[in-house]
Structure 1
Amino acid sequence: METTLTDQVALVTGSSRGLGAAIATTFAAAGAQVVLHGRDREALAAVRKRIDGDVLTVTGDVTDPTDLDRMHAQIMERHGRVDVLVTSAGSTTSRPTPIEDITPESWRADIDQNLTATFLTVRRFLPGMKNRRQGAIITLSSAAGRKPSDRTIIAYAAAKAGVQLFTQDLAAQAGPFGIRANCLAPETILTDTNAAWIPPETQRALADAHPLRRLGTPDDVAAAALFLASNQASWITGITLDVAGGAVLV
């Protein structure tokens, strides 16, 4: 059975690079009318070139409700709706740090960039889905939010764990309106950025720590997102899917 998003309007936040870019290009190949989002115009333009057709790009800060209002207006003017929402935007500039050494500023930054950004984006686009009584929402968590580790960035992990519970509550509230909400929790993914700064020997050691003995790729995450966005997952909501090569088992 073919997985398709034909005639679906899909907004992928944080799609200027990495996982978001892979998800957006995969959705476009499956027939979706993709809306790209990011803050780096040049990076967005590069992703846009990889997609056939006229692709809308919007820029803005998803932690800022005013920016989200402006982005929403642009999308409504062009497409009139969003059928699939992927909240891929999120990041951290922190490093693993003892709790007593974490500054309030870095804590708030990680929570805002990951958990608050997810909440505000869903909050802005959910009413339209409710009005149409249909939609699919996919949030992005992380294996960091699935199990403790001495290598974890604590604020980032707390934010990503919060995304999972937020998604479950969202699924419960939005389900009666025909809206599904699911979460993806990737482990170490070999994005261009990770490939550039993780030495090959470290990549091999990380791969060997996974039961499947390899690192994930952006396409692995994109394929999982496509499944959850499609009608093939029409009876699935409220789950967190570990795209982790079995890492949560060990």
Structure 2
Amino acid sequence: MKFGVVVFPGSNCDRDMYDSLLQDLGQEVVMLWHKDTDLSAFTTEDCIVLPGGFSYGDYLRCGAIARFSPIMQSVTKFAGEGGKVFGVCNGFQVLCESHLLPGALLRNANQQFISKNVYLRGVGDQGCALKVPIAHGEGRYYADDLTLDQLEANGQIIYRYTDEDGNITAAANPNGSLRNIAGICNATRNVFGMMPHPERACSEALGNIDGKTILEALFINAKEKPAAKKAGLVNF
């Protein structure tokens, strides 16, 4: 499987994602500049990644300017043809601004930037919670009730914030996201977005490889039930 990591002006997690996919997961990775438009080297079995950071300085709204970068037209077409697209943090914001995913990411409920480890679990997963870092000021997922109900009914909420034991509680919600939502996918399950940073939790040297489990379940070993079940993504 080949991954293309898009670099916008202001991206700062692109190399983290590159290193995690290449070194920790052994995948082929290509860096893509935001002015590139040619994705012909990628098939629908591959994945385009929009990394975290502060694209265009987060001016106007997070991701609102990046959505107009030349490559996003190609990414939108790629997704429409069934290609996989994954956005993390700022990348999730770009996907929402581009309407590849529903809803929006608003200012954190405490009006402060938050950088810490949090716990997640996949919807329907009864296993242990996964510990993954967050680092954002605008990560509060919001959508109207109809959209939220549709996400629930379609199984599009892929991760929720939990406590260490996997319990979904208000106290475990770091940013005020509605229904403790940490990550979602589109209806056809080929576009994924999440605020936590799995690429920052893929190395034994860092003392945490829970992020590796997420990436493997979403993309690399999606058809292998043990890995997918641990991350709560058996239906993906």
Q: Sort the TM-score into its range (normalised by shorter chain).
A: 0.3 to 0.5
Q: Which has the larger radius of gyration?
A: 1
Q: What is the TM-score of this pair, normalised by structure 1?
A: 0.36
Which structure features the higher share of helix residues? 1
